[in-house]
Amino acid sequence: MERLYRYHGLQNPTVLVALLNFDPEWPGVNLSDLPERFLDRLDILQLAHDQKEINQHFQILYENSLNKIRELYHDANIYKKDQILTRLLRLDLLDEIQGLISSHLQLPNTVLSQFSAEGLNCFVANNFLSARDHFKRVIEEDPSDSIAAQGLRLTLPRAGGKMDSILEVRNKHGYGITGAGRTGVNASIGSDKTISLLMSGQYKSGLYSKRHAAHWQLLKRIYGDRFYNYEQIPTDGSIKNLFIIGDEGVGDEVRTAQFYSYLSKTFERITISCDPRLTNIFQYSFPNITFIPVERYRKGLTKNSSSSDPRISGLNQKLSQILTNECKDLMDQADGITFGQNLFFNRFIGNIPFNKQGGYLSQNIKRQSTAKLKIGILWRSHFVTMWRKFMYLKVEDFLPITKLENIEIWSMQHCIEEDELEFCHKNNIKIVEGIDFFNDFDGMSPILEGLDLMIGISSLPMELAAAAGTPVWMLGFSPENYFLRTAGGNKEADQLSTNSTIIAPQWIDFSAPTTDCISLVMQEACKKLSKLQTSSSQHLQKTAPIALQC
């Protein structure tokens, strides 16, 4: 790419986009010199949008490009308008879409992106039946539309359907051009089957359906029987040297670490790639395992790399995002190779034991006994997108808990906003000073370990607290938050994380407005907290989850 850029400079926007997506701070690139004729390109808009938090140059490029796109839309034909609206949908720019549609002549019904946008507007307004009908209209005409498919999958359980209702749609309409026009469910296309199975509590089948991923199939072709792609890992001593790829988000890595103690006793040598922020904690907790810090490249998350380790090349983009050349060398030497999610598959097929209680990451911090329950709260991840925000809370939703007596509430929220900070100060929610909850996991871990209880949604601080042995209450206010971890609504104990319980009344109705579901779950949390306050033991046991019926 560097040679291509030296040859083309800023005159080839395709090279520029590829280069800056790989490294937004590529030396020598002056975005202000980008020719104006490229500003109305949708790939330039996408690049600027994804990287606008990096520096002011990307922010300016984003604003200029968006202005050009607005101008282009006015005189564009219906095909170009559909492309523009679809791209704006992918960028979560609903207000922009509404402004463009309302300021111009009515679009013909063949422009399907307008119905996806309206479906999303209805979803946000809790009008789930109308949202379902809008998304269905798009899928019936173009089953390959991924935005409408994702919207429909989220909407159907909120419109009286089941978590796997999207599979009925796929059986009828298929996947359009991506499925060669065939009807029926295909696990190798998209994630509908996988998510439906997992949300229904069919963990073995759901995880096994992920084996079709192109990057895992590629490693299977390269390493053959040495690579375990959602397959049983031999624990009979036939494998001496096992390499494990840390393949998902940092919270997932922490959750997967629950198996590391068992594995370290089963294999002579284990090497695991991990997020650099976890290296110290993992190495302290599992001294017999070698951890290789690898920065991950994820769109919308990775700002810039501080590592000079060359990425693995010549395979595919996904593998280059999660592996370095050092990893490749170690994989070549290993007797067996697998990845984090396959450890969970082995847990559900009974090949690896699952410990429901007790911490597995610890810095041996002794919690100080206090007169009040010390509770941490978390309401969202730092990464908020159109499809993730429905699984998050607002800090204001915790207001009922702040009214309880003999409780000391601490914010464990990373990347906290100014308005959230102001609310915390006004409602006596304490703030941890001097710790960067996004980067300083070593500093955050003993704080989480010192809590009596952690309440909120699944994100790194929740997973790290559970891993440290602190009881965790995951709030099941949405179908996604509830069904994934409760075996399809059949368990109260978390089926993925240790020391974790899902809080939601059994009669919760997800077709109700989201605010009603949140209120109901918070009432349930307050009720359980009140019982804790009046119990003979004022504090929670750090070695077991809250005593709730599973």
- Strand-pair category, 453-456 with 430-431: unpaired
Query: Residue 536's pLDDT is what?
Result: 35
The reported pTM is 0.88
Q: Which of 479, 436, 433, 469 is CA-nearest to residue 254?
A: 469
Q: Which domain holds residue 426?
A: 373-534
Whether the CB-CB separation of 496 and 255 falls below 8 Å is answered with yes
Residue 325 and residue 387 share a domain: no
Query: Residue 224's pLDDT is what?
Result: 97
Does residue 86 belong to any structural domain of this protein? no
Whether the CB-CB separation of 339 and 248 falls below 8 Å is answered with no
**What CATH number is associated with residue 297?**
3.50.50
Residue 472 and residue 410 share a domain: yes
Whether the CB-CB separation of 357 and 544 falls below 8 Å is answered with yes
Burial of 391 from C-beta contacts in 10 A (0-12 / 13-18 / 19+): middle
Coil, helix or strand at residue 477: coil
Amino acid letter, residue 83: Q
DSSP letter for each residue of 76-117 = --HHHHHHHHHHHHHTT-HHHHHHHHHTSPPPPTT-THHHHH
Residue 339 and residue 424 share a domain: no
Does residue 87 belong to any structural domain of this protein? no
Query: Residue 208's pLDDT is what?
Result: 97
Q: Which two tokens stand for residue 61?
A: 């490029």
Whether the CB-CB separation of 153 and 192 falls below 8 Å is answered with yes
Residue 385 and residue 287 share a domain: no
Residue 381 and residue 511 share a domain: yes
Does residue 58 belong to any structural domain of this protein? no
Residue 339 and residue 381 share a domain: no
Does residue 239 belong to any structural domain of this protein? yes
Q: Which regions of 204-289 does DSSP assign to beta strands (E)?
A: 241-245, 269-274
Residue 389 and residue 261 share a domain: no
Does residue 89 belong to any structural domain of this protein? no
Does residue 336 belong to any structural domain of this protein? yes
Q: Which of 98, 16, 86, 85 is CA-nearest to residue 57?
A: 16
Q: Provide the number of structural domains found in the chain.
A: 2
Residue 520 and residue 395 share a domain: yes
Does residue 423 belong to any structural domain of this protein? yes
Residue where the block lists tokens 């969970």:
344
Residue 331 and residue 429 share a domain: no
Whether the CB-CB separation of 377 and 398 falls below 8 Å is answered with yes
Does residue 388 belong to any structural domain of this protein? yes
Query: Residue 307's pLDDT is what?
Result: 54
**What CATH number is associated with residue 452?**
3.40.50.2000
Residue 457 and residue 315 share a domain: no
Q: Which of 479, 275, 460, 485 is CA-nearest to residue 383?
A: 460
Degrees to nearest 5, angle at CA 40 with 102 and 21: 115
Whether the CB-CB separation of 143 and 112 falls below 8 Å is answered with no
Task: Please list, in sequence order, all residues whose beta carbon lies within 8 angstroms of the beta carbon of residue 295, skipping any fewer than 6 positions away.
Answer: 275, 276, 302, 305, 306, 307
Q: How many helices (H) and strands (E) does the chain have?
A: 25, 10
**Residues 274-282: contacts with CB under 8 Å, at least 24 apart:** 274/246, 275/246, 275/250, 276/307, 277/250, 277/439, 277/440, 277/441, 278/250, 278/253, 278/254, 278/441, 280/441, 280/442, 281/361, 281/363, 281/441, 281/442, 281/445, 282/257, 282/361
pLDDT digits (tens, 9 = 90+) for 512-529: 999 999 999 999 999 999
pLDDT digits (tens, 9 = 90+) for 68-77: 999 999 889 9
Q: Tell me, what DSSP letter sits at residue 191?
A: S
Residue 255 and residue 390 share a domain: no
The per-residue pLDDT string of the chain (550 residues; one tens digit each, 9 = 90 and over) reads 677 777 777 788 888 787 777 677 776 677 888 888 999 999 999 989 988 888 888 899 999 999 999 999 988 999 999 999 999 999 989 999 999 988 777 899 999 999 999 999 999 999 999 999 999 999 999 999 999 999 999 999 999 999 999 999 999 999 999 999 999 999 888 899 999 999 999 999 999 999 999 999 999 999 999 999 999 999 999 999 999 999 989 999 999 999 999 999 999 999 999 999 999 999 999 999 999 999 887 554 444 445 557 778 778 888 988 999 999 999 999 999 999 999 999 999 999 998 777 789 976 555 555 678 999 999 998 877 777 788 899 999 999 999 999 899 999 999 899 999 999 999 999 999 999 998 999 999 999 999 999 999 999 999 999 999 999 999 999 999 999 999 999 999 999 999 999 999 989 999 999 999 999 999 999 999 998 877 634 444 444 443 333 3
Residue 339 and residue 243 share a domain: yes
Domain boundary among the residues 348, 382, 401 is at 348
